[in-house]
Amino acid sequence: MNRRDFVSGVLVSGGLSPLLALAGAEASQARPATPPPAKILLFDTFGTVVDWRSSVAAEGERIGRAKGVTGVDWAAFADAWRAGYGPSMNRVRRGELPWTKLDVLHRMVLDQLLVTFKIDGWSEAEKVDFNRVWHRLNPWPDAVEGLTRLKSRFIIAPLSNGNLSLLTEMGKHAKLPWDTIMSTELVKHYKPDRETYLMAADFFDVQPSDLMMVAAHEGDLDAAKALGLKTAFVYRPNEYGPARVPKRVPPGKFDYNTLDFKELATQLGV
């Protein structure tokens, strides 16, 4: 993909200067059949494809009710669980822990939270099962239709810190039509380490510019962009609940800027 294709991408996304628009128009006249802007679309999952917060809270409610637990704010529990994920990954990065699957990090955080939230009397089997709620997250309403359309033209895969079994079982649960699973477990690094973004280029013998990172989080896209990947922002206003609605990213910062996967599919011409 060359500079002109990139310009076409910006054009479609709506964020463009008059000069770039002119360059884009020239490019499309010169080459009627525009090559696709990437070969492989890589999706952040937690928050981008699936709604972790409401999924975890709903399972907590259900299990809590069955166990007679009262007075727990399960949405707050979900937020705290998710918030524990960054610091626990950093323990791996700093070498305090060897390479550790996300499932195991999730369990370490869960064990702390059961104390913090004063929940006791759960059996080991119940803890194991609840920890696997991260394998059973529900998709955003547009995800399956959008991915199915995108799959018709691109290789689609999650690129996530979820371990391979987590992402595989999440895909099965949520009926996500992945072509393959790019868990960062395969390179024993966590995003945003560079090894994670470049893994698909190695596996598929393509350039970083043949990859497009799709995410609801600017940091993820910034890291991908710095390594030469294409980028698509998807706005997920409900990820963190009503009290913490994120801002939309300004147009033009990333190659594509969309409200959901169906809009991304339309912008990518499928």
Rounded least distance, CB 205 to a copy of itself, Å: 7
- Token readout for 175 is 């009926």
- Whose CA is closest to 73, among 117, 129, 131, 133? 117
| Cβ–Cβ under 8 Å, residues 180 and 155 | yes
CA-CA distances (angstroms) from residue 268 to 16, 176, 231, 248, 253? 17, 19, 12, 20, 17
Q: Which is nearer to a copy of itself, 10 or 155 (CB)?
A: 155
Rounded least distance, CB 149 to a copy of itself, Å: 15
Q: Which is nearer to a copy of itself, 181 or 213 (CB)?
A: 181
Residues that bind a copy of itself (CB under 8 A): 103, 155, 163-165, 167-169, 171-172, 178-181, 185-186, 203-205
State the Cα–Cα distance between residues 200 and 206, nearest whole angstrom: 8
SS3 12: helix
Rounded least distance, CB 164 to a copy of itself, Å: 5
Rounded least distance, CB 203 to a copy of itself, Å: 5
Q: Which is nearer to a copy of itself, 101 or 262 (CB)?
A: 101
Q: Which is nearer to a copy of itself, 57 or 174 (CB)?
A: 174
| Cβ–Cβ under 8 Å, residues 208 and 38 | no
